[in-house]
Structure formats: C-alpha cells, structure tokens
Amino acid sequence: MDYFYLISSVALASTASVFGGFYNRRAEGRRDTDALYNLLLCGAAFLGWVALFLTDPVLDVRVLPYAAAFGVCYVICQFGFINALRTGPVSLSTLLLNLALIATTIWGFFFWNTEFSLFVGLGLGLVVVALWLCLYTGGGEERGFSLKWLLYAFLAFAGNSGCAIIQKTQVLHLGESCGSLMMACALLIGAVFCLIIYLRSDKRDTGVLIRSAGFWPVAAGLCNVLHNFTLILLANSSVVSSSVVYPCIAVGSLSITVIFSLIAFREKLRPWQWVGIGCGTVAVVLLSI
C-alpha cells in the first residue's frame, strides 16, 4: 500500500503543470483567465483541506500568522505559475518552480542549522548549470523567452520558495499536528485574495470559461490536497523512507510533465535545454535527499 501511495503522489504532483497547461489551451483568447483559474483552484483546495482538518481537528491560534504568510505566498506562486504556463514552455516553467528547493536550502544554512554536504554542493552547482542551459537560447530569436514569461516564472519561484520556508518553519515551531488547520486557514486567505482579484477583473467570459475549462482548476486544487495527504501517509511509512520518497516524486513528476509537454503540448526546445532539464531534475533529487 505504501508504494501505491508513492506512485499516487508522483502522479498527483504533476497535475498542477499538466492541468494548468490544458486550462490555458482551453481558455486561449478569453479575458482574465488567470483570475478565474486561481479562484477555482484556491476554493477547491480550501474545501479539501477543511475536509482533512475535520478528520483530526486540532485548534491552535498560533498557526494564524503562518497561515496568513503562506496564503499570500501561495497566491503569488499560483498567479505567476499559471501565467508562466501560458506565456512560456510548460516543462521549463515546472522545472523553475521545482528549483525553489534552492531557496529553502540556502535559508536552512542561516536559520535551520542545515549542514552543508556533498549532495547539497552538487545540487546547488547543478542548479546553476540547469538555469544557464535552460535560459540560453543560442542567440536566435525564434525560441527565445519573453520578459513576461521570465517575470511570471520568477513570481512562481519566489512564491513557492516562500510557501516551503513558511511551512517548514511552522512545523519546526509548532509541530505537524496542526498542519491541516494551517493549510485550511492559508487557503481561505488565498481564496479571499483571489476573489478580490477576480471581482476586479473582466468577468464577461466567466460563463464560457467555467463550461469549457472550469474542470481543470478545480481538479488541480483537489489533486494538490490529495498529494499532500499521500505525503502525510508516507511520512508514517515503515517501508518507504523519506530519502526515497522525495527524490522519486521530484523525478517522477518532472518526467510526467516533460512527457505531456512533448506529446500533448508539442513543445520544442533546443537540445541543450533538454540537457538543462535533466541537470535540474538531478539537482532537485540531490537537494531532496
């Protein structure tokens, strides 16, 4: 059963990129598609975390500051990510999102007494190599990246880094027992922010977007909750260690995303950019060990 959880977690971890890519293609040409996407995603994720919280309710008001900070970072990450998927390659956008591990690693050196190891050193070095290979376009313009994509990818990277740092800090200070409460509160705050942004957006295409593409953000939000639930189950596993779980998820989810980017989204990258994706995948594995 533990291996079933692991396989499920790998598949669920890739849904944010894959579902976001499908949504953008269904919503192409519509107005303010990102506002509706993130409202539906945060709303679905909030309901999912409430359901998990009710299975083991632990109340602790000390999680509220962490929840507020996480909610803000989550919204920044999701708005950046869905727009990065719209304006640039799905595979590279996903890789940059996953490389947020570099921020938590560096943060750990200063605030969590993380020890520097050979794996960490190699991982950080490969991150630099991966970024250079992925972002270098060979001097040609036909496959260059727009400034918009770089900005959106950076927002997704920064938001995901903030989420990871805040979540780990909360666990270190308060323990794992109130994790569901923290996430439910954070997603509620995120949903409120998304609602405000949506109400200020051009809503004329809302009906068409919901009918043609509304499934994808709702499914992505629920899959995000299920992914975290499988991680909770695997944390208590006596069969699969954490040193195996996180590298498997990193490699598996990126591999699934790359396959979809090739087959479903028909992305074409330069050969060295694919090498960069491989280096980035290895870097994520090393930083996850």
- Domain count within the chain: 1
* Dihedral pair phi/psi, residue 56, rounded to 5°: -150, 70
Is it the case that residue 142 has pLDDT exceeding 60?
no
Is it the case that residue 140 has pLDDT exceeding 70?
no
pLDDT grade for 249, boundaries at 50, 70 and 90? confident
- Non-local CB neighbours of 147 within 8 Å, separated by 6+ positions: none
Measured CA to CA, the distance from residue 92 to residue 50 in angstroms comes to 33
Rounded average pLDDT over 171-189:
90
- Non-local CB neighbours of 171 within 8 Å, separated by 6+ positions: 179
Burial of 208 (0-12, 13-18, 19+ CB in 10 A): middle
Burial of 237 (0-12, 13-18, 19+ CB in 10 A): middle
Q: Which domain holds residue 282?
A: 2-288
Q: For tokens 């509160």, what's the residue?
A: 185
Share of the chain above pLDDT 90, in %: 48
Amino acid 143: pLDDT: 52
- Non-local CB neighbours of 254 within 8 Å, separated by 6+ positions: 14, 94, 95, 98, 277, 280, 281, 284
Buried b (16+ CB within 10 A) or exposed e, 250-270: bbbbbebbbebbeeebebebe
Q: Which of 99, 35, 51 is nearest to 228 (CA)?
A: 51
Is it the case that residue 139 has pLDDT exceeding 70?
no
Amino acid 239: pLDDT: 67
Measured CA to CA, the distance from residue 244 to residue 6 in angstroms comes to 10
Q: For tokens 């499914």, what's the residue?
A: 219
Measured CA to CA, the distance from residue 210 to residue 198 in angstroms comes to 13
Summarised one tens digit per residue, pLDDT across range 86-98 is: 999 999 899 888 8
Angle at 220 between CA 25 and CA 94, to 5 degrees: 70
pLDDT grade for 3, boundaries at 50, 70 and 90? confident
pTM of the entire structure?
0.90
55 three-state secondary structure: helix
Measured CA to CA, the distance from residue 33 to residue 36 in angstroms comes to 6
Top-confidence range, 33-37, 59-63, 129-133, 143-147: 33-37
Summarised one tens digit per residue, pLDDT across range 17-56 is: 999 999 999 999 998 999 999 999 999 999 999 999 998 8
CA distances from 228 to 58, 91, 189, 231, 232 (A): 17, 22, 19, 5, 6
